[in-house]
Chains A and B, each alone.
Chain A
Amino acid sequence: SQTIHQWPATLVQPVGSPLSLECTVEGTSNPNLYWYRQAAGRGLQLLFYSVGIGQISSEVPQNLSASRPQDRQFILSSKKLLLSDSGFYLCAWSVRSSGRTYEQYFGPGTRLTVT
C-alpha cells in the first residue's frame, strides 16, 4: 500500500529564516506530487505540482520554491520566511495518467508558525 510522509510535523521559525519541508511517498512510482497551503479560514491553496523529477509548476507567485530531486521526494523551501507564510502545509500525491484525473492522497501535514 502507498504511504506519504511529511516532516517535520510542527515548526516555529522566525521571520527571515530559511525553510525546508520534506515529503516522501512510498509504495508507488512516478506519482504526481503537490504542495498545498491551508491558512486559517482560507481553504486549500495549491502552491506547486510536479509530474516528474525536476519538473515543477508554480500556481501562485510567492517567496516559496519547490524541488523534486528524486521520483518520490518533494521539498518545499524558502530563503526568507514572511509572517504570511504561516499555515498548515500539505503534501499530496496522485497516480500519473493522461486523459483522466485521479484522486489525490494527502500527507499528515506540517504546521508552520512564523514569529
Chain B
Amino acid sequence: AQSVTQLDSHVSVSEGTPVLLRCNYSSSYSPSLFWYVQHPNKGLQLLLKYTSAATLVKGINGFEAEFKKSETSFHLTKPSAHMSDAAEYFCVVSDRAGGTSYGKLTFGQGTILTVHP
C-alpha cells in the first residue's frame, strides 16, 4: 500500500522569500514521486517528477524537490516566490505498473500556497 502526507494544508509567504512545501510518502516499492500545481478552476500541471534517477529534481518555474529515502520525504522548494506561484500543490506517489500496464497515483490532500506582495 502507498500513501502520501502533505504536512501543511496552507502555507503563506511573502513575494521574494523562499517556498517550502513538505511531503512525506509511504510505499512498499521504490516509488515514483511527482508534484503537481493547480490554479483555481484549472487542471493539474506537472511541476516535476522523480523516477529513481538523480535525487535532486529540477522542475518548471524554478521549483525543485529532493528525494530523501531515509526520511521518506519529497519536499518542494523554490528560492524566491512569485505572485504567480499562488495555487494549490499536490504531492503524488505511484506504485509500480506491473503487468496491468497501469500504475495508480495516490494524491496528497494538497497545500494551498498564498503569496503576499
Contact = CB atoms under 8 A, between A and B. Distances in A.
B43 A108 contact: yes
Sort A-B residue pairs by CB-CB distance and give the 6 closest, nearest first: A101-B103, A106-B43, A101-B94, A106-B44, A44-B107, A98-B101
A51 to B, nearest CB: 5
Interface of B: 32, 34, 36, 41-46, 49, 90, 94-105, 107-110
A109 B42 contact: yes
Contacts of B44: 44, 90, 92, 106
Nearest to A100: B97
Contacts of A51: 100-102
5 contacts: A97-B101, A98-B98, A101-B97, A103-B49, A108-B43
A102 B36 CA distance: 14
B108 A43 contact: yes
Contacts of B95: 101
Given A6-B43, A44-B107, 13 more contacts: A32-B101, A43-B90, A43-B107, A44-B44, A46-B105, A88-B41, A98-B97, A98-B100, A101-B94, A101-B103, A102-B103, A106-B45, A108-B42
B20 to A, nearest CB: 21
A74 interface: no
Nearest to B43: A106
Contacts of A43: 90, 107-110
Nearest to A30: B101
A101 B32 contact: yes
Interface-centre pick from A43, A96, A98, A103 (highest chain B CB count, 10 A): A103
A49 interface: yes
B110 A46 contact: no
A32 B102 contact: yes
Contacts of B96: 99-101
Interface string A99-115: 11111111111010000
